[in-house]
A and B are shown apart, each in its own frame.
Chain A
Amino acid sequence: MSHVRTDDAPPGEVDYVAVEQSPRFVELKKKHRSVVFPLAALFLVWYFVYVLLSSFAPEFMAQRVWGHITMGLLLGLGQFVTTFAITMGYVRFANNRLDPISGEIRDRLEQEEAR
Chain B
Amino acid sequence: MNDFFASVHSGIASAIATAENDPILNMSIFGAFVAVTLFIVIRASRNNKTAADYYAAGRSFTGPQNGFAISGDYLSAASFLGICGAIAINGYDGFLYSIGFLVAWLVALLLVAELMRNTGKFTMADVLSFRLKQRPVRLAAAITTLAVCFFYLLAQMAGAGGLVSLLLGIHEQIGQSVVVAVVGVLMIVYVLVGGMKGTTWVQIVKAFLLIGGALVMTIWVLALNGFSLDTLLANAVSASITEPQDAILGPGLQYGANPWDFLSLALALVLGTAGLPHVLMRFYTVPTAKEARRSVVWAIWLIGLFYLLTLVLGYGAAYLVGPEVIKDAPGGVNSAAPLLALALGGPLLLGFISAVAFATILAVVAGLTITAAASFAHDIYANVVKKGKVPPDGEVKVARRTVVVIGVLAIVGGIGVQGQNIAFLVALAFAVAASANLPTIIYSLFWRKFTTRGAVWSMYGGLAAAIILIVLSPVFWGTDTSVFRNVGTAIWPLNNPGIVSIPLGFFLGWLGTVLSSKKEDPRKAAEMEVRSLTGYGAEKAVSH
- CB within 8 Å of B: which residues of A? 8-10, 14, 16-17, 19-20, 25, 28-29, 32-33, 36, 39-40, 43-44, 47-48, 50-52, 54-56, 58-59, 61-62, 64, 66-70, 72-73, 76, 79-80, 83-84, 86-87, 90-91, 94, 99, 102-103, 105-106, 109-110
User: 8 Å CB contacts to A: which residues of B197-237?
Assistant: 229-230, 233-234, 237
CB < 8 Å neighbour of A99 from B111, B290, B301: B290
Q: Is the CB of B259 within 8 A of A55?
A: yes
CB-nearest residue of chain B relative to A67?
B230
Assess whether B534 is interfacial by the CB under 8 Å rule: yes
Instruction: Assess the B110–A56 pair: CB atoms within 8 A.
Output: no
Per the bound structure, the CA–CA distance linking A29 and B95 in Å amounts to 38
CB–CB A68/B237 < 8 A: yes
Q: A83-B300, A84-B300, A91-B293 are in contact. Are A109 and B534 (CB under 8 A)?
A: yes
Choose the segment among B99-107, B168-176, B465-473 that binds chain A (4+ C-beta atoms closer than 8 Å).
Answer: B99-107
8 Å CB contact of A79 from B99, B246, B263, B534: B99
Q: What is the 8 Å Cβ interface bit string for chain B, positions 258-302, against chain A (1 contact, 0 not)?
A: 011011001000100000000000000000001001000100110
Count how many chain B residues have C-beta atoms less than 8 Å from C-beta atoms of the other chain.
54
Q: Is the CB of B109 within 8 A of A90?
A: yes
- Contact yes or no, B249 A68, CB < 8 A: yes
> Once the chains bind, are A50 and B99 in contact (CB under 8 Å)?
yes
The answer to whether B250 has its CB under 8 Å from any CB of chain A is yes
**Smallest beta-carbon distance A113→chain B, Å:** 9
Please determine whether B102 and A16 come into contact, CB atoms closer than 8 angstroms.
Answer: no
Report B-chain residues with C-beta under 8 Å of the C-beta of A102.
533-535
State whether A86 touches B106 (Cβ < 8 A): yes
CB neighbours (8 Å) of B297 from chain A are: 87, 91
Known: A76-B99, A106-B534. A87 touches B109 (CB 8 A): yes
Q: Please encode chain B, from 391 to 412, with 1 for each CB lying within 8 Å of some chain A CB and 0 for all others.
A: 0000000000000000000000
A106 to B234, CA, bound (A): 57
A80 to B523, CA, bound (A): 42
Within 8 A of A (CB), among B440-485: 446
Complex Cα–Cα for A45 and B530 (A): 30
Contacts of B493 in A (CB 8 A): none
Tell me if A94 and B293 are in contact (CB < 8 A). Answer: yes
Does B424 make an interface contact (CB < 8 A)?
no
Check: B252 CB closer than 8 A to any chain A CB.
yes
Q: 26 A-B pairs, CB-CB below 8 angstroms?
A: A14-B527, A14-B536, A16-B527, A16-B529, A20-B526, A20-B530, A25-B534, A28-B533, A28-B534, A29-B533, A43-B103, A43-B106, A47-B100, A48-B266, A50-B99, A51-B263, A51-B266, A54-B96, A62-B251, A66-B230, A68-B230, A73-B249, A79-B102, A83-B105, A83-B300, A91-B297
The 8 closest A-B pairs by CB, nearest first: A62-B250, A55-B259, A68-B233, A67-B230, A16-B526, A16-B527, A20-B526, A54-B251
Contact (Cβ within 8 A) B110 A90 = yes
Residues of A within 8 A of B534 (CB): 25, 28, 102-103, 105-106, 109
The CA of A76 and the CA of B527, in the complex, are separated in Å by 42
* A contacts with B: majority SS: helix
- Find out whether the CB atom of A55 lies under 8 angstroms from the CB atom of B263: yes
Q: In whole angstroms, what is the CA distance A54 to B315 when docked?
A: 19
Q: Check A19 against B530 for contact (C-beta < 8 Å).
A: yes
Taking a contact as CB atoms under 8 Å apart, the answer to whether B110 and A36 are in contact is yes
The interface residues of chain A lying within 8 Å CB-to-CB of B290 are: 99
Distance of A31 from chain B, by nearest CB (Å) = 10
Known: A40-B106, A87-B301, A109-B534. 18 other contacts (CB 8 A): A16-B530, A17-B526, A20-B526, A39-B110, A47-B99, A54-B251, A54-B262, A55-B262, A61-B251, A68-B233, A70-B250, A76-B92, A79-B99, A79-B102, A83-B106, A84-B300, A84-B304, A91-B293
A residues less than 8 Å from B255 (CB atoms): 54-55
Residue B11 at the A interface, CB < 8 A?
Answer: no
A87 and B230 within 8 A (CB)? no
Are the CB atoms of B251 and A83 closer together than 8 Å? no
Contact A17/B523 with A40-B110, A54-B251, A87-B297 known, Cβ cut-off 8 Å: yes
Docked pose: A61 CA to B93 CA in angstroms: 11
How far apart are the CA atoms of A51 and B102 in the complex, in Å? 14
A9 to B530, CA, bound (A): 15
Do B530 and A70 touch across chains, with their CB atoms under 8 A apart?
A: no
* Alpha-carbon distance between A109 and B536 when the two chains are bound, in angstroms: 7
